[in-house]
Copies of this chain bind each other. A is one copy, B any other.
Amino acid sequence: MATLKEVAKLAGVNISTASRALNDSPSISAATKVRVRQAAEELGYRPNLSARALSGKGTGAIALVVSDIMSPVWNILAGGACDAASAASVPALLYCAETDADYLDRVLPEMISTGAAGAVLGLHLSEEAQRKTEASGLPAVLAECFPLAGLPAVYSSRYDAAREAAAYLQQKGAKTVVLVTVPGFDMAYNKGCADALKDTGARLRVLTGPNTYQAGFALGYSLADELYGPTGIVAVCDGQALGVQHALQNRGVRVPQDCAILSLEDSVLATATYPGLTTMSKPLYRIGAKAAEKLLLKIKGQPVESECLRHTLTVRKSTL
């Protein structure tokens, strides 16, 4: 790789002039800039980011941490953040951290050591983890994680999604709404459903199980025996939703006629099934992208605010 020194030599200027020309400093004559740029072009010059980092500017690299890149949900968020980073031509470092402890003990120190300019935090972080991140001084913005400390976040409202989903099903005729969720998950889902059904005469049931297709299937199988009258299911994850759906269909329950199903995710699973799964889709790609954009602003010292992005209802065939 050509270095700045060689570029400067070819352009016949001092290395510091070359540096300024390439960084578009206002105190450099247009003629010089042109000359230096041509030289850089000719040599295929690419700045060494490590050197740049060391001399003050930082590599500009941002870290992207998600709980699991292999999940068909977090990978979308990562995709949005990655695209935003590449649009701004800053490198993106990928980290996976499944637990708070792993994040705090391993990932956070590693990010700092690597010289990341900031981090997009696309995973569920406790208040303590959020506080410690802020205390570390590393600029960070949360992605699809509710802000509990001072860090800004880009996220979608689970409460709203659940409330609108339950309301939608109730309006379509459901007398019973079943919320299928995961033990330990955000209670905002429960509250949203409950609020939507208040004073409607429809009742709410809550079923919990692991976030998997198999668990949903088991839940659906037993649910089939207890279905009386028009029912709507709000599932917190696509996998669960499909498991429930297939078990019900297997037991002779017609979807959506006897029982409608709506998921609060919107992964590949939602479209690759028949009948297609209706979803209140989280804008994960945009959340990832926006979080990265805000991070870049924050790194530049600009103030950034938290932002709640709207989900959108995508009606497919699992609801009326």
Contacts and interface: CB of A to CB of B under 8 A. Distances in A.
Interface of A: 1, 44, 46-51, 53-54, 59, 61, 64, 68-72, 75-76, 78-79, 82-83, 86, 89, 91-96, 106, 109-110, 112-115, 213-214, 217, 238-239, 242-243, 246, 249-250, 267-269, 271-274, 285
Q: Kindly name the residue among A46, A71, A113 whose own CB sees the greatest number of chain B CB atoms within 10 A.
A: A113
Given A86-B95, A272-B273, 14 more contacts: A46-B112, A48-B115, A50-B115, A61-B93, A69-B79, A70-B76, A70-B79, A72-B72, A79-B96, A93-B93, A239-B268, A268-B268, A269-B272, A273-B273
Given A79-B68, A272-B242, A273-B272, A49 B114 contact: yes
A94 B96 contact: no
Contacts of A50: 49-51, 53-54, 59, 115
A47 B269 contact: no
A243 B145 CA distance: 34
Contact of A61 (B76, B83, B89, B114): B114
A103 to B, nearest CB: 12
Nearest to A275: B246
Contacts of A238: 272
A78 B80 CA distance: 16
B69 A72 contact: no
Contacts of A83: 96
Contacts of A46: 109, 112-113
B272 A213 contact: yes
A238 B53 CA distance: 44
A19 B238 CA distance: 51
A167 B50 CA distance: 54
